[in-house]
Chain A
């Protein structure tokens, strides 16, 4: 089945700097790659997603890139702010025709003031 690896597990950056989180997936049939942000005690919330027919997508300070050949995708957050502190999860759809998501183990992003 699908396997999603996420790195790093913890990332500490200075406020205002950029943060990059990387994920790799194993199933070449995966075609949908969302990113979720989960604050302590809250539900995961979708922050951005990308489909396999797109290489890059940007939404204000957040961008995601996808390399289908290498089977990896990354989340980029620029001009980080204290409210960006949270756990971020990448995910990949389970196969091309099935449903459900396989998640990475998460990255705890810490924004240092």
Chain B
């Protein structure tokens, strides 16, 4: 059974550009959550999608957005990139989402560097 797949693994972007990251969940999982991991702030929750609907959003500016498709694959977009957006972006999938108390499995992450 394939795990959570994130693409691309590495990205280098310039300030002011935008970027789109992709996450394919484990087959049968309908919930996808996104997290930003930095050395200073640790793992911070961005948003969670279930059946194409955003159910919860963390404390990030509107430049961070996401969506989920009918096959449960999810994308997140960051517009007008800032140096501080450099981080490892992780997605996690679960069968029903934490509200149903099911385990979340993480992808390998996308390492974004903004220069």
Contact = CB atoms under 8 A, between A and B. Distances in A.
A101 B99 contact: no
Interface string A67-104: 00000000000000000000001010110111111111
Given A34-B104, A49-B103, A100 B33 contact: yes
Interface stretch (A10-18, A39-47, A58-66): A39-47
A86 to B, nearest CB: 14
A104 to B, nearest CB: 7
Q: Number of contact residues on B: which range applies? A: 20 to 34
A105 B31 CA distance: 24
Contacts of B103: 34, 46, 49
Contacts of A97: 99
Nearest to B54: A99
Nearest to A42: B108
Contact of B42 (A49, A51, A104): A104
A5 B47 CA distance: 21
Given A32-B98, A43-B90, A44-B90, A101 B42 contact: no
B45 interface: yes
Interface in B26-65: 31, 33, 35, 42-45, 47-48, 50, 55-56, 58-59
B107 A106 contact: no
Contact of B99 (A42, A91, A93, A104): A93
Contacts of A36: 106
Interface string B90-111: 1000000111010111111100
Interface of A: 1, 31-32, 34, 36, 42-46, 49, 51, 89, 91, 93-94, 96-106
**Nearest 3 A/B pairs, CB to CB:** A103-B43, A99-B97, A43-B106
21 contacts: A32-B101, A34-B103, A43-B107, A43-B109, A44-B90, A44-B106, A46-B103, A49-B103, A89-B43, A94-B56, A98-B48, A98-B99, A99-B33, A99-B48, A99-B56, A100-B56, A101-B35, A101-B45, A103-B43, A103-B45, A105-B42
